[in-house]
Amino acid sequence: MAITVLETATDAAVNTVNGKVVINGTSPAHANGHASAAFTEARLAKPPSAHLLQYDLVPLLEREKKQFDQYLQIDLAHLVMLVEQGIVTRDVGRALLPALVDIRKGGATGMNIDPSKGSLLLQIEAALAAILGEEVAGRLHTGRSRIDQGATARRLFKRDVLLKVLGAIATLEETLIKVAKSNPDTLIPTYTHLQHAQPGHFAHYLLGYADRLHDDFQRCSDAFARANKSPLGCVGLSGTSWPIDRQRTRELLGFDDIVINSRLAREAYYAAEIAHSLSFVMATLNDLATDLHIWSSIEFGFIQLDDGYCSTSSIFPQKKNPVALEVIKYAAGPAVNWGGSALAAFRGEGSGDQAVRKVPELDTAFDKTLAMLDLAGGIVSTLTVNSERVQKTLHDSWCTTSNLADELVRKNGLSFRQAHHVVARLVRICEVHGISRAAVTPMVLSQAAVETLGQPVDGWTAEQLSASLDPVAFVQTRTSEGSVGPDERAKLVAAAEQRVKSDRTWLKQKADQIALAKSKLDGAIASIVEA
């Protein structure tokens, strides 16, 4: 960004000549008849110390530089409103708007940032003063403060990145649904306490994570609703006497609403809520990665990760390490504290200035969550299920015994608790005597009943007993809503597809709303500059 000091003339009027801003009167750097004071010089006897620069202003500017575009977006919207409200003249607007547009195009790297000048708002103001003089540049700050300017920039920035996270959640939902549909016949055992529970289905398992991600999407979109409110115009804490139009700047910046109470301009609990919401996303990813990590072990051998998501060992030639899953689990550890750290930073302030109510760890939270959602999608879309290994495990498993208990209730009129006792003893007898599930007989079942109920159970054939313990038959007979049965799985797929479609529609509406706001802002700028 080239900054040019323009020629001087005779009075303090602002004009444009051949599309360039010209200030008549003193030079821009001396628009008041003397050199402009630095921001702190009017009140403080000393400039910022080296320590203050190193530990406060420089880190602050590094954070704010990430929000550079948002700061300029706010400047432009605020200035348009000031001109439309007659708070500053159109001549001033025609001088400032092109300069702001030029600074925005140049980006943060195009500015000569001097930490001693203070925050990004003051850096931009100084750059404008170098072009136009403080007499003109200083008018941009009419009817606002650093409090509402900075708070608005932070909300815009978090809103934009949160939309990216929401899009990444929807993408992973779609991946899970796609892989689920491509595995229509893949049974797996399910677990409680890492022990076999019942036969399950790989598609049903993946759809469960799609549902959890939809919950995460809703949590994040709820947080978005509270983040997407404009604090611009709250000014200090008590509002302003200038006839500003807060709804106009809200419209030009694409916010859904305004922060209505001026005391809450800097309120940042929405940011803590975002941090908590991202922690939930990471918890979902951690659970998925942990399951897959266990299932990929030699002892389980249910799945294999694509080689592109694995590494090997420098000493153990046989090793294929699923390191991509470890990356997700490692990233999920610190995520537990994201929300708590934000709330801890707010303690002790009450409803005061809230000067430290910033959540810088959100930058890390956003980056990690986006990266891990992307990584999880790559892992899931390329993994393979070792069907033979899973079938052998299910063949030797007693995970169908809850179905046998149900059949005892139906066939023999037992209570479920009585049936539970009989089947539990059946398993114990078979383990003690080395009887496999496939070899169990009605005689063994009857013995279990005698030992627990004091009487046998009659009317069972070997075929009926075998069918009641068959994993494939188990899955086929599950008919309750949301169950693992084929009809219910099909409904779960359809419901998941509809939910992610709704998520995509919501995202498009928000993207369109923000795009429309930018178009309105561009149009408003043009109408002032070109008038």
Q: How far apart are CA 464 and CA 404, in angstroms?
A: 10
Neighbour count for residue 503 (Cβ, 10 Å): 21
Note if 30 is an active site residue: no
CA distance 240 to 232: 11
- Torsion angle in degrees (nearest 10) through CA of 173, 176, 182, 185: -120
How many alpha carbons fall within 13 Å on the CB side of residue 135? Answer: 19
Options 34, 193, 314, 433, the catalytic residue = 193
- Secondary structure of 196-260 as H, E, C letters: EEEEEEHHHHHHHHHHHHHHHHHHHHHHHHHHCEECCCCECCCECCCCCCHHHHHHHHCCCEECC
- Name every residue whose Cβ is closer than 8 Å to that of residue 459 and which is 6 or more positions away in sequence: 411, 412
504 vs 142: CA distance, rounded Å: 40
Which residues, 6+ apart, have CB-to-CB distance to 473 below 8 Å?
403, 467
480 a catalytic residue = no
User: What residues contact 332, with CB distance under 8 A and at least 6 apart?
Assistant: 282, 283, 285, 286, 289, 372
Asked whether 266 and 237 are in contact (CB, 8 A), the reply is no
Phi, psi of 299 (to 5 degrees): -65, -40
Which of 49, 116, 297, 313 is an active site residue?
313
Packed helices 146-181 and 202-227: angle between N→C axes, nearest 10 degrees: 170
SS3 487: helix
Sign (positive/negative) of CA torsion 101, 107, 108, 111? Answer: negative
Q: Are 419 and 445 in contact (CB under 8 A)?
A: no
Contacts of 161 (CB under 8 A, 6+ apart): 366, 370
Pairwise CA distance, residues 307 & 382, whole Å: 9
Helix axis angle for 146-181 and 269-295, nearest 10°, is 20
Active site residues: 193, 313
